[in-house]
């Protein structure tokens, strides 16, 4: 890999800026000053330093975010604030993106990465990766709804969903509100909301708590994020293969 490309990928500036930086003699490879930005290096085998600090190269980053309400699952938008806007600048050179999407008013687990292969595996309709949500619903959710969801729900456009697992957590007969947990195995547009509309109920709050083997860290407040642990990443990659 070209040295200027590597350093740019790690957030040390544009290639033009890195070229100027290298002319100052502050970039070392295996202890030798390198001023030619086009030099090729092996980041896994060679020691690279800038201003005496070691450059720890990595190709991919994997972040777990507790997406808050009011931001959209996109990399950029001219009007709306995106989940990428919530990240510090150190991650921007990696050109990360959200894996799938959560609606603007939906919160919860969102994976952010620059690993296209893993993203494709997780979002492939053939994989049926489970996604679990907690929802507050206007209306009394019943055992009959559980049976309907278990068979598959016919949506407003005639599409019949895959069987899903609906669990009633709490029902308030007085206010006619319910809290449920729902696991689905696909990701159609507004699917959870449309499934409840099909049984004449309305989702008023929605939060995703898991995707595949990945479970939302309860210590992450809305808007917070952290990198995946090695164990989480191993489980995720194992699930996607």
Q: What is the pTM of this model?
A: 0.83
CB of 72 within 8 A of CB of 81?
yes
Axis crossing angle, helix 116-123 with helix 230-240, rounded to the nearest 10: 60
* Catalytic residue list contains 77: no
Look up residue 160 and give its DSSP letter: B
Q: Is the dihedral of CA 152, 155, 161, 165 positive or negative?
A: negative
Q: Each residue of 114-142: pLDDT tens digit? A: 999 999 999 998 999 999 999 999 999 99
Section 152-156 average pLDDT: 96
CATH class name, domain 3-54: alpha beta
User: 226 forms bridges with which residues in the sheet?
Assistant: 64
CA distance 193 to 164: 14
Residue 240's pLDDT band (boundaries 50, 70, 90)?
low
CA distance 187 to 195: 12
Min mean pLDDT across 15-24, 100-109, 197-206, 208-217 is at 15-24
Catalytic residue among 103, 136, 217, 224: 103
CA distance 204 to 92: 33
Instruction: Assign 84 to helix, strand or coil.
Output: helix
Instruction: Assign 144 to helix, strand or coil.
Output: helix
Instruction: Note the Cα 38 to chain centre separation in Å.
Output: 34
CATH 3.30.70.580 fits 62-125+214-240, yes or no: yes
CA distance 12 to 32: 19
Fold of 131-211: Alpha-Beta Plaits (3.30.70)
| Phi-psi map region of 52: left, alpha, beta (phi>0 left; psi -120 to 50 alpha) | left
CATH 3.30.70.580 boundaries in the chain: 62-125+214-240
Taking CA atoms, 194 is separated from 97, 153, 178, 198, 240, in Å, by 26, 9, 16, 6, 27
CATH 3.30.70.1560 boundaries in the chain: 131-211
Going by C-alpha positions, the residue among 201, 210, 194, 208 that lies closest to residue 152 is 194
Going by C-alpha positions, the residue among 230, 225, 163, 175 that lies closest to residue 204 is 175
Q: Each residue of 155-198: pLDDT tens digit? A: 999 999 999 999 999 999 999 999 999 999 998 999 999 999 99
CATH 3.10.290.10 boundaries in the chain: 3-54
Section 72-80 average pLDDT: 94
């Amino acid at each position: 890999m070209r040295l200027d490309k590597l350093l740019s990928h790690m957030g040390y500036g544009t290639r033009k800026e890195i070229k100027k930086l290298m002319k100052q003699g502050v970039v070392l490879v295996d202890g030798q000053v390198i001023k030619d930005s086009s030099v090729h290096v092996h980041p896994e085998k060679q020691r690279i330093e800038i201003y005496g600090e070691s450059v720890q190269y990595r190709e991919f980053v994997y972040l777990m975010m507790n997406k808050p309400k009011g931001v959209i699952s996109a990399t950029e938008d001219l009007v709306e604030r995106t989940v990428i806007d919530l990240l510090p600048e150190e991650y921007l050179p990696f050109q990360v993106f959200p894996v799938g999407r959560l609606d603007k008013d939906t919160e919860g687990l969102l994976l952010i990465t620059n690993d296209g292969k893993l993203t494709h595996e997780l979002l492939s309709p053939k994989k049926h990766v489970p996604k679990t949500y907690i929802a507050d619903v206007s209306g009394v959710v019943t055992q009959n709804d559980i049976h309907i969801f278990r068979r598959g729900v016919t949506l407003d456009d005639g599409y019949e969903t895959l069987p899903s697992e609906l669990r009633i957590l709490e029902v308030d007969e007085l206010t006619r509100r319910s809290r449920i947990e729902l696991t689905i195995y696909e990701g159609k547009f507004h699917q959870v909301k449309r499934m409840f509309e099909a049984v004449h109920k309305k989702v008023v709050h929605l939060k995703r708590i898991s995707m595949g083997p990945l479970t939302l860290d309860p210590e992450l407040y809305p808007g917070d994020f952290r990198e995946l642990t090695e164990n989480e990443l191993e489980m995720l990659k194992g699930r996607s293969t």
